[in-house]
Amino acid sequence: MANQTYQTLLSLLVLLSLSAIFTVIEGSEKKLFVFGDSYVDTGNFLNSPSFKPPYGVTFPGTPAGRFCDGRVLSDYLAASYMNITSPVPYEQRKSVNQSVIGNGMNFGHGGTGVFQTMVDGPNVTTQIDLFQQLLQQNVFTKQDLQSSIALVNAASNDYDTFLVKNGSTKDLPAFAESLVNQISVNLERIHSLGVNKIAVGLVAPLGCLPLESVTSSYQNCSDEANTLANYHNNLLVQKVKDLNRNQSSASGKPVFITLDLYSAFLNTITTLQKKRAGNPTLMNPLEPCCVGLKGGGCGIVDKKGEKQYKVCEKAEESIFWDNVHPSQNGWLAVSTALQSSFRQLYV
């Protein structure tokens, strides 16, 4: 209980400190528009495990559509930096108080990607189409967008889909280039619609996901998968530099900002591994909190309604919630590490 109270207080202090650091011109109405996958989705994948226990057990206390025990990246950007309530998921826009829409809109959909993936959901291009439709319907105006931010995070599911369909890494470099080129097209399109500050997430260290590290009994990250992530990220960083040379905001500041999820996660994991080496009672940062049993996944129940998963005792100490998704504690650590990047969104 003491640890949980500490984590709650730490989370609150981070929210308050970031809100104090990141301020905008008085009177401007900040809105956040989110595009991407499960790392930013807050409730668009309606028929998914994210709406079943034990997801949402930490926040909001019940399953609500986040692939996590609590808050995800888009929640922390909204609350801790922009000081607004996390924007409503697009699929839930008609069932909420319309005043909530004043915070923007979340189009992110778990399992999707830049291109079409194995999940039948809107990819980022389609998500931007939905955003454009709302603009055409005057749900949001051009003036609304002037002080708004867009968050884009997708690509991991594209690589999973490529590897499953092709069965080898032979043409992976060419695929990575086409993927990053499409991300560039998406970023430019969002900017052309009127958003002047756009943050794009780099790929997290894929080799450190429990899905990969399980092969070493959660002792080591996969170098091969992390090499892929690094290759993608290097291409994307260069592409964003190119975009910023071609575009500038009214203030002359960069329009596009990269969020280095790779370094933020890897540094967090490395630090905790060193601490655990001196104190083996600490939770292994590479091990998921919610583990599927008998080949199942987190949240799966059998025909009798019996749980086919187990949940760790201290979710507040975990970095990963399930095989591929960070826990709320993981996202808190990453969001704290990204403070300087968040700051660039309003300088």
Give the active site residue among 75, 144, 160, 322: 322
Active site residue 325: yes
Give the active site residue among 11, 37, 38, 158: 38
Active site residue 28: no
Give the active site residue among 86, 109, 325, 341: 325
Residue whose tokens read 């005043």: 99
Task: List Cβ neighbours of 233 (8 Å cut-off, separation of 6 or more).
Answer: 202, 203, 260, 262
Active site residue 38: yes
Select from 75, 145, 138 the least CA-distant residue to 106. Answer: 75
Task: List Cβ neighbours of 328 (8 Å cut-off, separation of 6 or more).
Answer: 11, 58, 59, 68, 69, 70, 71, 72, 315, 316, 321
Is 319:289 a contact under the CB 8 Å cutoff? no
- Could you give the residue numbers annotated as active site? 38, 322, 325
